[in-house]
Structure 1
Amino acid sequence: MTAGVVGTPAALHRRSGSAAPGPGFLARPRALWHRRRAVALLVTRDLKVRYASSALGYLWSVLEPLMLAGIYWFVFTQVFTRTVGAEPYLVFLLAGLLPWTWFQGAVVDAARALHTEAKLVRSTNVPREVWVVRVVLSKGVEFLLSLPVLLLFALLYRAPVDGHLLLLVPAAVLMAVLTLGAGLLLAPLVVLVRDLERVVRIALRLGFYASPVIFAVRDVPAPFDTVFALNPLSGILELCRAGFFPGAVQWAHVGLSATVSITLLLVGWTVFARLERTVLKEI
């Protein structure tokens, strides 16, 4: 849904004198923080529009991952002899599919955010990173809203739930950092190279199977397990599953995920800042 179509918050219509690029790199996060209310308004508006215009509303946040979990559960437990994941496998699947849905949806939408919101990007006096941050946070809220469903299935299948469930907090933070970095990197590039949007979609399809969503890193035979461990999503998904499968966490993977996520955020923000002027000429 495009912000320019339905009820854009009035605070965003304070036009600047020109569509010049924002502040210097070091000041950009501070400028974004100062406009946090505008970000909150956009996120709230997105969620209201998405749920109010749908008969199923909130259920759409979990319907797709639930259907996928059901399919993979049937294939790996009823059709084939499963040798991956952990029991209860349906909980294992949901604990991987729900954060993956956040990552996939946010990367796709963030990559096209500047192009989709071109009119507002040019005319509103807010840091242009807002349009990427808005997407990441909106999808993140949807992820948080889906957690009660995960907990419900964990209780139904009597999965062990303990204090490791609190590791969902650093998992969500790392996912937000990783996704924001990817979004800031891709958003200006997609404006300049339109075919890149298709490449992103294809890469995400491949990335699903290159990430431990339906299996664990330990299920991958050597030496390929080392390659899968390098995926920054590996440590994040292990943290997401820690509350139900404490033995799944390998802290080396988590440390690598944190390092890659922070690095990608710095790279993404740098690329965004350097390409901003060029992007404004193209949109």
Structure 2
Amino acid sequence: MNIFEKKNRILLKELVKTDFKLRYQGSVIGYLWSVLKPIMLFLVMYLVFVKFLRFGAAVPHFAVALLLGITIWNFFSESTIVGMQAIVGRGDLLRKVSFSKSIIILSVVSNAFINLMISTTVVIIFAIINGVHFSWNVIFAVPLLFELFIFTLGIVFMISTAFVYFRDLSPVWEVVMQAGFYATPIIYPITQVSERAGNIGHYAANFMMMNPIAQIVQDMRYIFTYSNNTNPTVWQMLHNPLLIMIPYIMPIIIFFIGFWIFNRKSKKFAEVI
């Protein structure tokens, strides 16, 4: 079934609107939590890792880089955790209405993307306050956000399909996400890894940059703070063109694999759930 059919577009719009309205329904400050949540997490991380543990002490505007990294990770975390259970949670809808099942996943990731845009606006304001001077290369944030979106969508297609059949995936994924957070240069600069333990640290940092999320975080930091030596990108750290292309190509491959798996199994979702 074509995902771009009129009824699918209407359903997608309604699902996104409904989920966004229900997210903070009943809370005192409502949608402001979309802004306050990343800021509160940032303050905790900043006090613990920057002020006390002195992570990124030599990095210009590391507070901005930290907030940006947390914002990107929150989008990925929210999309995957909520998206993993989205098909099971919409079981009644699947049994009653005929539509493209991928709409459910797309609505979850789109909703998280709206929050990402709100949080990114906060990051920009915070960066300006901290004296960051933006250059024309900030336009490259657009393809990076698209890369982040399709990579996340591909992962959610995979894990939401797996969750229909294996409900134990939920606690496993929580552990994976926790490990992934610390294995991605978010609360610390990648140079802190590459400059330690000699060649081991160098190879470890290069390996970490094969992760598309790490590549996106570093590229976005480079765009926002323009600090070459302290926030290096994968194309500054590696010299092999084939290795450089891995994290950029991987999101496209994962998206198509995830979409293929999802579509192949989606016909039986209503029966299994």
Shared fold per TM-score greater than 0.5:
yes
- Residues 30-109 of structure 1 correspond to what in structure 2 (within 5 A)? 31-34=2-5, 35-83=8-56, 86-109=59-82
What secondary structure does 1:120 align onto? helix
1:255: how far off?
3.7
Q: Could you state the TM-score of these two structures normalised by the residue count of structure 1?
A: 0.83
CA distance 1:82–1:250, change in 2 (3 Å): closer
Distance 1:123 1:197 in 2: 26
2:240 paired residue number = none
Counterpart for residue 176 of structure 2:
203
Name the counterpart of 1:236. Answer: 216
Alignment-mate amino acid for residue 79 of structure 2: A
Given the superposition, is the C-alpha separation of residues 118 and 100 from structure 1 closer, same or farther in structure 2, using an over 3 Å criterion?
same
Task: Please identify runs of 4+ aligned residues in structure 1 that moved more than 6 A.
Answer: none
Structure 1 CA distance, aligned partners of 2:57 and 2:157? 34
On the 8 A contact 2:55/2:189 being kept in 1, the answer is no
CA distance in 2, matches of 1:233, 1:116: 27
Secondary structure of residue in 1 paired with 2:3 = helix
Could you tell me which residue of structure 1 aligns to residue 130 of structure 2?
157
1:235·1:255 contact (CA, 8 Å) conserved in 2?
Answer: no
- Pick from 109, 113, 137: which aligns with 1:136? 109
Match of 2:233 in 1: 250
Do the aligned partners of 1:190 and 1:196 also contact (CA within 8 Å) in 2?
Answer: yes
Cα distance change of structure 1 residues 40 and 242 upon mapping to structure 2, 3 Å threshold = farther
Count matched residues: 254
Q: What displacement does 1:249 show?
A: 5.4
1:259 corresponds to 2:230: no
Aligned equivalents of 1:251 and 1:213: distance in 2?
A: 15
Alignment match of 1:268 (pick from 246, 249, 258): 258
Q: In structure 2, give the amino acid aligned to 1:175.
A: L
Distance, in Å, in 1 between the alignment partners of 2:104 and 2:62 is: 37
CA distance in 2, matches of 1:270, 1:148: 34
Amino acid in the other structure paired with 1:236:
I
- Residues in 2 aligned to 1:55 and 1:277: alpha-carbon distance in whole angstroms: 41
Structure 2-normalised TM-score?
Answer: 0.86
How big is each residue's C-alpha offset from its partner over 1:85-139, in whole Å with a ceiling of 9 and x where there is no partner? Answer: 7322221111111111010000001111111111102221210011111000000
- CA positional deviation for 1:156: 1.5
Among 80, 95, 114, the residue aligned to 1:122:
95
CA distance in 1, matches of 2:54, 2:160: 42
How much does 1:53 deviate? 3.4
SS at 2:223 equivalent: coil
User: Is contact 1:234–1:254 with CA below 8 Å preserved after alignment?
Assistant: no
**What whole-Å deviation, never above 9, does each CA across 1:5-48 have from its counterpart, x for those lacking one?**
xxxxxxxxxxxxxxxxxx4xxxxxxx112222321221122212
Distance apart, 1:214 and its partner CA? 1.6
**Sequence identity of aligned pairs in percent?**
24
Contact 1:85 1:216 in 2 (8 A): no
Question: Are residues 245 and 270 of structure 1, via their aligned partners in 2, closer, same or farther at CA, if it must alter by over 3 Å?
Answer: same
Unpaired segments of 5 or more residues in structure 1?
1-22, 24-30
Which residue in 1 is equivalent to 2:83?
110
Corresponding residue number in structure 1 for 2:204: 224
Q: Is the 8 A contact 1:192 1:279 kept in 2?
A: no
1:250 maps to a residue whose letter is T
